[in-house]
Amino acid sequence: MTTTSSTTGVRVVRTKAELREVLAGRGTVALVPTMGALHGGHESLMRLARPMADALVVSIFVNPTQFGPGEDYDAYPRTPDADLAVCEAAGVDVVWMPDVAEMYPDGPDASVMVDPGALGAVLEGAARPTHFRGVLTVVAKLFAAVRPDVAVFGEKDFQQLALIRRMVRDLGLEVRVEGHPIVREADGLAMSSRNVYLGAEQHEQALALSRALEAGVAASAEGVDAVLAAARTVLDAEPGVDTDYLVLTDPFLNPVDGSFAGDARLLVAARVGTTRLLDNHGLHVGREGA
């Protein structure tokens, strides 16, 4: 049975059959996939997507296959009432909230999975070996169910966005993938559902990530080594930050050497307390026009 929230005008559906019924005849469809615990960054994705299609769908599903052993699947924040309020404010038409059985009828362990290839084995993939297999699998399932004309993702998970674009290209999926720049809190911290895990002191420590990226961008005219050295200095000065990686790549996440010049992406992953955070920034390495 299709349900509507009692506190919002957003249509809430739980199954693929309900979803297809609700979307029938609505014209073009935009999709914003999420795992809930929605914040201003998610809302900005919805507002970007709203004029792109006749109907706007937001999916809310905490996907078990992208969490590794010992990660925070069970503890991941789930705030459905607040999420629906965010969706209504952003003009969402349909919220799809399937359960695990709907997405993985034979169970997550028995599902056919999407192999992310070599790009899925570096950076986040090196730290979380099964993560991107789960991400691409669930995104493929979401695309198959919603059949969107366009899907919008944030750039905070930049490697994820690159892999989704590659999956769409390599598998010939008929959906346009749009990226949205990172949305930050007033103090510069990249918005993330996991920020709720940070205490006040840890929040202050986590600001080292955005400060490091800013330092790298400020040094970009001096070349690759200067970018990495400037960013590393900021991270090393904050004892509360345990850096996993700090890398500079080209826009397609290919590694670069010290002679590289051109558009690039500076990415960092670090743990603050028990919370793992990601951030990144685009920049131009070298003196433009030189």
- Is there a single domain that holds both residue 107 and residue 231? no
The pTM of the full predicted model, rounded to 2 decimals, is 0.93
pLDDT at 5: 43
- Same domain? For 39 and 159 the reply is yes
Judge if 101 and 163 occupy the same domain: yes
Residue 186 is assigned to a structural domain of this protein = no
Report the CATH number that the domain containing residue 114 is assigned in CATH: 3.40.50.620
- Is 279 a member of any domain? yes
H or E segment at 227? Answer: helix 224-236
Predicted confidence at residue 110, as pLDDT, reads 86
Q: Return the structure tokens found at 101.
A: 């059985």
Q: Is residue 121 part of a domain?
A: yes
Predicted local distance difference test score (pLDDT) of residue 290: 58
In a domain, 227, yes or no: yes
Active site (annotated) includes residue 39: no
Please report whether residue 2 resides in a domain: no
Q: Give the pLDDT score at 262.
A: 98
Are residues 119 and 149 located together in one domain of the fold?
Answer: yes
Domain with 263, as residue range(s), is: 199-285
Which parts of the chain sit beneath pLDDT 70? Answer: 1-8, 289-290
**Strand arrangement of the beta sheet that strand 11-13 belongs to:** 3-4, 11-13, 94-96, 55-60, 29-34, 150-154, 176-180
Q: Check 42, 131, 180, 281 and give the catalytic one.
A: 42
pLDDT digits (tens, 9 = 90+) for 53-69: 999 999 999 999 999 99
Is residue 211 in some structural domain? Answer: yes
Q: Are 99 and 167 part of one and the same domain? A: yes
Q: Which residue has the tokens 């052993």?
A: 69
Measured CA to CA in angstroms, residue 256 lies from 100, 250, 266, 268, 285 at distances of 40, 7, 11, 15, 11
Please give the pLDDT value at position 1.
35
> Could you give the number of structural domains in the chain?
2
Are 227 and 176 within one domain?
no
Give residue 8's pLDDT: 56
So what's the pLDDT on residue 287? Answer: 87
Residue 257 belongs to a domain: yes
